[in-house]
Amino acid sequence: MKVFIKTYGCQMNIRDSEAIAGMLKNANYEIVDHESKADILLFNTCSVREAAENKAIGKVGFMRKLKKDKPHLIIGILGCMAQSKGDELFERLPHLDFVLGTGQLHKLLDTVNSLVEERKQMLLTAECNDVLTQMGVHYNDGDTSNFSNYSSFIAITRGCNRFCSYCIVPYVRGREISRTIEDVVAEARELVASGTKEITLLGQNVAAFGLGGNVNPPEEGISPFADLLVELNKIEGLERIRFTSPYVSYFNDKLIQTMADCKKICHNIHLPMQSGSNRILKLMNRQYTREMYLEKVAKMRALMPDITFSTDIIVGFPGETEEDFMMTKTLMEEVGYDNAYIFKYSPRKGTKAAAMDDQISQEIKEERNQILLQVLRKQVESDIKKLLGTTQELLVEGVTKTNKDRFFGKTDTSWVVNFVPNAETKVGDIVKVKITQANAVTAVGELV
Ligand code: SAH
Ligand code: SF4
Ligand code: F3S
């Protein structure tokens, strides 16, 4: 039977979809790249903003037509929206066959098998810790059109205990649980043995790894996450280690020093700031201040001068004044991000912020969004120029969309560089290039 998987949301969802694809493939299902070719349609969904939910609901609604022509079609909604909406989804989408929440993802194969045997609507949304240890499967057949082999995600924690006041993730992903160092290292070794060069460690707060769900940052000298990095750094054949997202206050000196000492850890950190105003940070229940954020950035820059930063920012949080917004803008300028995901606040039912007074209008959110995008554009334009004339190491990622004769790769600081390959260049190689052009958002290099 043929399966089509559509994924919405963050890297954790991409990773879950990949594990599901791996499980299905091992059970002789075939993964296809278009819904029209499939017998089974899986939608792995996101609830973090209203737009993400609407997109998935719209898409599944549209599948009703397809099912009229192909009554044997099995349609399932998985992941975060499955968890948050549950039963309600069957009411809105009567042609839906099953709903599988975030704690039940490891039951996907059993669920699909039982639906192939006997058709009925199935709802599975219980929280279950087994999902942590049973989702270590990877989709690996050398076919980079579905999931890449040279760069792989590893989920090291699941769930979140932080309850930022705007965020639905703790409600849809459950309580934070961590794997063991041995377990993560074993998965990384297996991936490297089958061609992986770069791993990205995933978690809602990766730096909380191994802290037993404690919401207070660890004391100085304690960082199980740093201990994990040290072990991963020893794996022969692994070239690069990335992670996302870490919560800023968990960067103690031990972790920062470890990052500087371990050669494979990329000098590009995704460090969500959300807001530059201490008043708003407090309302968001983010347990750091603007000053603490800047202090951590400065410490990392002192030890790793080439480090680049990216971030997540929310504009239009309830009560955000012009003054608060200016604090966000100036913090952005002070840090100098080379990438930023700027989100317009979206009220999520059941969260604290959704019930706050002073919700901000869509127009103001849009206006603030545009202003920050402009700040980002300026920063990128000026930073990319600094690459001119330098020699950079790239991990080759593929052929460029606009020119089939050109390849592109990424520096460890996450700049994308296009270059003309030679006869031996392949995806997953590490190559050296000299940067000959660097303007707007793309850099061009020549192999050296
Ligand atoms: N665990 C990660 C964030 C995961 S959600 C962290 O804390 O860093 C990814 C991003 O979505 C968040 O960083 C935040 O910027 C954004 N986000 C979360 N809830 C949102 C909401 N209700 N409206 C708009 N953006 C939101
Ligand atoms: Fe959401 Fe905050 Fe947890 Fe990130 S840390 S997932 S923003 S509650
Ligand atoms: Fe969305 Fe769930 Fe990720 S809500 S952002 S897919 S954890």
**According to the 3-state scheme, what is the secondary structure of the chain?**
CEEEEEECCCHHHHHHHHHHHHHHHHCCCEECCCHHHCCEEEEEECCCCHHHHHHHHHHHHHHHHHHHHCCCCEEEEEEHHHHHHCCHHHHHCCCCCEEECCCCHHHHHHHHHHHHHCCCCEEECCCCCHHHHHCCCCCCCCCCCCCCCCEEEEECEECCCCCCCCCCHHHHHCCCEECCHHHHHHHHHHHHHCCCCEEEEECCCHHHCCCCCCCCCCCCCCCHHHHHHHHHHCCCCCCEEEEECCCHHHCCHHHHHHHHHCCCECCEEECCCECCCHHHHHHCCCCCCHHHHHHHHHHHHHHCCCCEEEEEEEECCCCCCHHHHHHHHHHHHHHCCCEEEEEECCCCCCCCHHHCCCCCCHHHHHHHHHHHHHHHHHHHHHHHHCCCCCEEEEEEEEECCCCCCCEEEECCCCCEEEECCCCCCCCCCEEEEEEEEEECCEEEEEEC
**How many other C-beta atoms can be found within 10 angstroms of the C-beta atom of residue 415?**
25
Cβ of 207 closer than 6 Å to ligand 1, yes or no, is no
User: What's residue 145's pLDDT?
Assistant: 52
Q: Which domains does the chain have, with CATH numbers?
A: 2-124 (3.40.50.12160), 151-384 (3.80.30.20), 391-447 (2.40.50.140)
User: What's residue 433's pLDDT?
Assistant: 98
Cβ of 314 closer than 6 Å to ligand 1, yes or no, is yes
- Nearest atom (ligand 3) to Cα of 168: 4
Mean pLDDT, 10 residues at a time, over the chain (448 residues)? Answer: 97 96 95 95 98 98 96 97 97 97 97 95 94 90 64 96 97 96 97 94 98 93 98 98 97 98 98 98 98 98 98 98 98 98 98 97 98 97 96 95 93 96 94 93 92
Which tokens hold the place of 403?
């020119």
User: What's residue 141's pLDDT?
Assistant: 62
Taking only the tens place, the pLDDT of each residue in 387-415 is 999 999 999 999 999 999 999 999 999 99
User: What's residue 357's pLDDT?
Assistant: 95
pTM (global) more than 0.95: yes
The residue whose CA is least distant from atom 1 of ligand 3 is 46
Cα of 49 from ligand 3 centre, angstroms: 9
User: What's residue 140's pLDDT?
Assistant: 74
User: What's residue 146's pLDDT?
Assistant: 57
Q: Considering every ligand atom, which ligand is closest to the CA of 275?
A: 1
Q: Considering every ligand atom, which ligand is closest to the CA of 46?
A: 3
Measured CA to CA, the distance from residue 221 to residue 218 in angstroms comes to 8
User: What's residue 441's pLDDT?
Assistant: 76
User: What's residue 298's pLDDT?
Assistant: 98
The residue whose CA is least distant from atom 5 of ligand 2 is 162
User: What's residue 366's pLDDT?
Assistant: 98
